[in-house]
Amino acid sequence: MSINPEQGGVCAPQGFVAAGLRCGIAKKKDKKDLALIYSKAVCSAAAVYTQNRVKAAPVTVTQTNLSDGRAHAVICNSGNANACTPDGEAVAQRMCAIAAKTLNIGHRDVVVASTGVIGQSLDPAPIEKAMNTLASALSDKGSADALAAIMTTDLRPKEIAVSFVLDGKTCKMGAIAKGSGMIHPNMATMLAFITTDAAIAAPMLQQALSTVVPDTFNMVSVDGDTSTNDMTALLANGLAGNALIETPGDSYDIFVRALTHICIYLARAIARDGEGATRLIECSVAGAKDDTSAKLLAKSVICSSLFKAAVFGKDANWGRVLCALGYSGAEFDTAGVKVQFASKAGKLTVCENGVHFPFSEDLASRVLGEEEIEILVGLGDGGGSAVAWGCDLTYDYVKINGDYRS
Answer whether 78's CB lies under 8 Å from 178's CB: yes
Say if residues 255 and 208 touch (Cβ distance below 8 Å).
yes
Please state whether 101 falls in left (phi above 0), alpha (psi between -120 and 50) or beta: alpha
Could you tell me if 225 and 180 are in contact, meaning their C-beta atoms sit under 8 angstroms apart?
Answer: no
* Closest CA relative to residue 266, chosen from 158, 347, 367, 194: 158
**For residues 386 and 297, is the Cβ–Cβ distance under 8 A?**
yes
Residue 281 pairs in a beta bridge with 373, 390
189 is a catalytic site residue? yes
406/404 Cα distance (integer angstroms): 6
Among 189, 196, 216, 394, the active-site one is 189
Best CA proximity match to 311, nearest among 232, 367, 382, 380: 367
Alpha carbon distances (Å) from 60 to 67, 116, 169, 381: 11, 17, 36, 42
Residues in the chain: 406
For the stretch 224-242, what's the b/e string if a residue is b when 16 or more beta carbons lie within 10 angstroms of its beta carbon?
eebbbbbbbbbbbbbbbeb
The three-state secondary structure class of 349 is strand
Residues recognised as catalytic = 189
